Amino acid sequence: MKALSLINVLDVRQGDGTYATSLAPSLLLEALSFVVDFHRDDSVLEFLEVRRILEPAATSMAALRMPNEDKAELGKLLDAVTVDSPVDDFVATDLEFHRRIAVGSGNSVLASLVDNMSPPTARARIWRGMTEPRALERTLDEHRAIHRAIMHRDADLARSWATVHIAADRVVAAHDAH
């Protein structure tokens, strides 16, 4: 039901019930194309490969360059969501977390590249959050580990945690694409 709600086939109203949004062919085809694109589109894997190259570097640089007040704000951002948060709120916070780290690298070109790599994988993140057990909990744990490494100015540990974090997304997307 969560997945059908995400792709706008069902409208789930807390305390009221679940309704089909529309049986209009265009809406159903759009929903179907989302699922087909998601499961067949290898470009998601390519974006994740690029993220796996860029984000650990940005995270390492952020550990050394990010101003203390930005590090504190990064922690507040993490505290704004829990595993019980709506998946789209969780993913929006995830995207912002990665964006702030990229900006914190102090390299505007790298920050722009990282920022442009995240949205194409947002669908995969939402799908993963809804369908994979403990995905949100693991994401939060990895984000907190990355934040701790940044707080301690440990560039190597920050890079390592970012690599682990992005690799987890890649494994899920690779599984879902095939």
Q: Are residues 25 and 111 in the same domain?
A: no
Has residue 17 got a pLDDT over 50? yes
Q: Are residues 18 and 66 in the same domain?
A: no
Q: Are residues 154 and 166 in the same domain?
A: yes
Q: Are residues 52 and 111 in the same domain?
A: yes
Residues 6+ apart with CB under 8 A from 31: 4, 7, 8, 9
Report the alpha-carbon distance of residue 147 to residue 112 in Å, rounded.
Answer: 20
Q: Are residues 34 and 52 in the same domain?
A: no
Has residue 36 got a pLDDT over 50? no
Total structural domains within the chain: 2
Report the alpha-carbon distance of residue 170 to residue 125 in Å, rounded.
Answer: 10
Give the mean pLDDT of the chain. Answer: 79
Q: Write out the residue range of the structural domain in which residue 13 sits.
A: 1-40
Q: Are strands 17-20 and 10-13 parallel, antiparallel or unpaired?
A: antiparallel
pLDDT tens-digit readout, 47-106: 778 888 999 999 999 999 999 999 999 999 999 999 888 877 888 898 899 999 999 999
What pLDDT does 23 receive? 60
Average pLDDT over residues 133-160: 93
Q: Are residues 101 and 155 in the same domain?
A: yes
Q: Are residues 103 and 173 in the same domain?
A: yes
Has residue 139 got a pLDDT over 70? yes
Q: Please tell me which residue, 103 or 135, carries the higher pLDDT value.
A: 103
Q: Please tell me which residue, 13 or 108, carries the higher pLDDT value.
A: 108
Q: Are residues 32 and 61 in the same domain?
A: no
Report the alpha-carbon distance of residue 11 to residue 5 in Å, rounded.
Answer: 6
Average pLDDT over residues 28-48: 59
pTM of the entire structure?
Answer: 0.71
Q: Are residues 66 and 135 in the same domain?
A: yes
Q: Are residues 24 and 62 in the same domain?
A: no
Q: Are residues 139 and 81 in the same domain?
A: yes
106: CATH: 1.20.120.530
pLDDT tens-digit readout, 150-170: 999 999 999 999 999 888 764
